[in-house]
Amino acid sequence: MTLILNNEDVKSVLTMEIAMKALEEAYLQVAKGEAVCRPRIDIQIPTRDPDKIYQWGTMEGGSISGYFAIRMKSDVTYEQEYAGAHTHEKYCLEPGKFCGLILLINTQNGEPLAFINDGYLQHMRVGADSAIGVKYMAREDAEVVGMLGSGGMARSHAESFCLARKIKKIQLYSPTKAHREEYAREICDRLGIEVTPLDNPRDVYKGADIIAGCTDSAVPIIIGKWLEEGTHITSIGGRPDEETLKRIDVSLRLGNAPAPWGLPELALADEHITYAALPREGAGLKMRRKDKRAHGVVAEDRAVLLADLLSGKKKGRTSPKQITYSERGNIQGAQFFAVAGRVYELAKEKGLGREIPTEWLLQDIRD
């Protein structure tokens, strides 16, 4: 039988500790060649609405541990401005609805094991990534987080940071006051730490040991001139500005997707690769420019891979005064076989989810 797991099923078994452990193990498997993945691939197609595009995105990977997974996303995307912020929005069918699925496969016999909603798992795996960066790069005495954003990612990051360091305070800014105040109440109650909502993003940086960009901003949100000595930076929505890139002393990259077998010249550091149907002439679509690639290694000349850091080949932070940065790299596919595989095991133990006959997904005609 093939298991169908929704977000509530995932939430009932997946903890941040489990996510962090699974990801670190997967990244080391990739580094040793025991796992494989590829960069995210997006396909963009114009819609009848000149301000919106359709985007199909996938990322996949598997390992000798026995699991393969592909994560699939179906979005209508567009950009908008509100409260002075320029954001990247998305939906499926209608605003507020989203389509993201993980197909988990048994690599020993090819069996489709599960279809899993990706929403809760997505927030956990991204928060876990940033916490791994904090674990290895932030100062040991880091206790104040400057948080930009108040959505689901900002919530998972608050939880994960508290596992990586003894966090005492979060200084929070997001464009909507009501969202800031709601986040502050929730995180204070749930994690037992001080959360201060702020009216000015500049104030987030004052005294912060960790700066976290957790927004859907379409423009840079990490402002280099505001960074204080010794800060560690993570940014999963909105990019660092040029001044930030200049000020980074050491950049930790959790991993790189390997090149295709026998084609080393096709190794890419790009976070994603986009294929696009051409928009109609004169349409105002916000499609990625054909001459602009996704970002590769941040501060490449100062970058260290996690595997090299753990093996002792390279060092990370060497001074409390250094400004450090951490990013996942283009190994998203490795995240899903690792975390989804563990979720599947735990859900099976608890008898969660709904089953459908695996035969529904099989056929007797060979391709």
- The reported pLDDT for the residue numbered 215 is 86
Distance CA 151, CA 217 (A): 12
Does 142 map to a domain?
yes
Distance CA 12, CA 10 (A): 5
CATH of the domain at 342: 3.30.1780.10
Sign of CA dihedral 94, 45, 287, 213: positive
For residue 236, the surrounding DSSP H or E stretch is strand 232-237
- The reported pLDDT for the residue numbered 83 is 63
Residues 157 and 223 in one domain: yes
Residues 111 and 203 in one domain: no
* C-alpha Rg value of the chain to the nearest Å: 21
Residues 11 and 116 in one domain: yes
In three-state secondary structure terms, 201 is helix
Q: How many domains does the chain have?
A: 2
Does 61 map to a domain?
yes
- The reported pLDDT for the residue numbered 272 is 87
CB contact at 8 A, 227 and 205: yes
Structure-block tokens of residue 106: 């048994």
Does 268 map to a domain?
no
Residues 108 and 232 in one domain: no
Strand order of the β-sheet with 250-255 is 194-197, 169-173, 144-148, 210-214, 232-237, 324-329, 250-255, 303-305
- The reported pLDDT for the residue numbered 80 is 84
**How many Å from the N-terminal Cα to the C-terminal Cα in the chain?**
23
Residue where the block lists tokens 């401005």: 81
Residues 212 and 151 in one domain: yes
Does 216 map to a domain?
yes
- The reported pLDDT for the residue numbered 364 is 95
Distance CA 160, CA 231 (A): 17
CATH of the domain at 228: 3.40.50.720
Residues 27 and 59 in one domain: yes
In three-state secondary structure terms, 152 is helix
Does 270 map to a domain?
no
Residues 298 and 159 in one domain: yes
Residues 222 and 309 in one domain: yes
Does 152 map to a domain?
yes
Nearest residue to 173 via CA among 250, 84, 249, 245: 84
Tens of pLDDT along the chain (367 residues) come to 999 999 999 999 999 999 999 999 999 999 999 999 999 999 999 999 988 999 999 999 999 999 999 999 999 999 887 666 677 889 999 999 999 999 999 999 999 999 999 999 999 999 999 999 999 999 999 999 999 999 999 999 999 999 999 999 999 999 999 999 999 999 999 999 999 999 999 999 999 999 999 987 777 889 999 999 999 999 987 789 999 999 999 999 999 999 999 999 988 888 889 999 976 555 555 555 555 677 778 888 999 999 999 999 999 999 999 999 999 999 999 999 999 999 999 999 999 999 999 999 999 999 8
Structure-block tokens of residue 219: 């423009």
Distance CA 144, CA 166 (A): 9
Residues 241 and 325 in one domain: yes
Residues 98 and 231 in one domain: no
- Give the structural domain span for 235: 130-255+291-329
- The reported pLDDT for the residue numbered 84 is 65
Does 168 map to a domain?
yes
Residues 71 and 134 in one domain: no
Does 350 map to a domain?
yes
Distance CA 32, CA 45 (A): 37
Distance CA 164, CA 214 (A): 17
Residues 325 and 336 in one domain: no
Nearest residue to 173 via CA among 151, 199, 195: 199
Distance CA 340, CA 282 (A): 43
